[in-house]
Amino acid sequence: MEIAKTIADVRDCIKAARSEGEKIGLVPTMGALHKGHISLIERAVKDCEYVVVSIFVNPTQFVPGEDFEKYPRPIDDDLKICEEHAIDLVFNPEPEEMYGQENFTWVNVEKLTEPLCGQSRPGHFRGVTTVCAKLFNIVQPDVAYFGQKDAQQAIVIKRMVADLNSPVEIVVCPTVREADGLAISSRNQYLSEKQRKDATLIYKSLQKCQEMIDSGIADTKEITSEMRKILQQVPSIRIEYISIVNAENLQNLDQIAGRVLAAVAVKIGPARLIDNILVDLSKR
């Protein structure tokens, strides 16, 4: 496994694979790798002949006051995981390598970045799309892998690639959960034991949503109000949003129809946690 800190080294490392026509996969991450990331890595290794994992805590996607400084950076553990999964190249740049002294050029996907997490994290998606566009230009992968856990991010990246005619296929992998349903996240480690227990209500609220949809309830207000009741069972949870939207354009739905994304964002103690489910009624 090779480890590159510079863009020039990435290009150099990939040269041989590219000239041999190997299928190149990219898994962009911020590190602190867990089972969610590993599911993306395993899928990439299955699909591709040459796999790059980027580990970069991207400063531009953190809003002022967020956890950029204290975001976990266990690079030795991460490298070990990559090595164990037969990754070909890890790209682990410093912010200066990615952005130089000053960055004048930004990629901004309109509309899709306004609702949901866009409301409370202004500028977050601009940071995500800009860093992903840079990574796509640096690595020039055939395929890049993202998690359904960050549903809005995946939709925004797909749109960016389509709108910019980037020759990269975006594969979205299912959310990996703990045994009790909590979506795995690097930020779960911020939780105390009690908060960790309370956090299971996030997925419980989404399961309630699924049950209600399955039983034929179509009024989204009725569903979100039941979800709210579940999340309000503990005082530690502060609800940021509970939204039921069209999974294509992220517009709010009054009535359940078509491909539906039910998404939740909450704060528990120091952690901001998100989760979602996709329900496809078009197939029923």
Q: How far is the CB of 170 from ligand AMP (least distance, A)?
A: 10
Active site residue 37: yes
| Total of residues contacting ligand AMP (CB under 6 A) | 17
Distance CA(184)–CA(33), nearest Å, equals 10
* Sheet containing 271-280: order of strands: 237-246, 259-268, 271-280
Chain centroid to Cα 178, Å, comes to 17
Q: Distance from CA of residue 4 to its chain's centroid?
A: 23
Q: Which stretch binds ligand AMP (CB under 6 A): 95-103, 131-139, 184-192, 256-264?
A: 184-192
Choosing from 87, 133, 184, 277, the residue that interacts with ligand AMP (CB under 6 A) is 184
Beta-strand (E) ranges in the chain?
Answer: 2-4, 24-29, 50-55, 89-91, 143-147, 169-173, 237-246, 259-268, 271-280
* Cβ at position 257, least distance to ligand AMP in Å: 26
Is 101 in contact with 218 (CB distance < 8 Å)? no
Scanning residues 22 to 81, which ones bind ligand AMP (CB under 6 A)?
A: 29-30, 36-37, 39-40
When the beta carbons of 88 and 150 are compared against ligand AMP, the nearer one is: 150
Q: Is 202 in the site for ligand AMP (CB under 6 A)?
A: no
* Per-residue x/- track, 104-123, ligand AMP (CB under 6 A): --------------------
Q: Which of 142, 150, 198, 240 binds ligand AMP (CB under 6 A)?
A: 150
d(CA 241, CA 42): 32
Q: Hey, which residues does 244 pair with through a beta bridge?
A: 262
Q: Of 61 and 220, which has the nearer Cβ to ligand AMP?
A: 61
Of all residues in the shown chain, the one whose CB is closest to ligand AMP is 147
CA–CA separation, 54 and 96 (whole Å): 15
Q: Which one, 95 or 226, has the nearer CB to ligand AMP?
A: 95
In the list 43, 85, 124, 149, the residue contacting ligand AMP (rule: CB under 6 A) is 149
Q: Which of 205, 198, 182 is nearest to 35 (CA)?
A: 182
From candidates 166, 175, 220, 243, binder to ligand AMP by CB under 6 A: 175
Q: 180-183: which pairs have CB atoms within 8 A and are 24 or more residues apart? A: 181/207, 183/36, 183/149, 183/273, 183/274, 183/275
Q: Which residues of this chain interact with ligand AMP, rule CB under 6 A?
A: 29-30, 36-37, 39-40, 146-147, 149-150, 173, 175-176, 183-186
Active site residues: 37
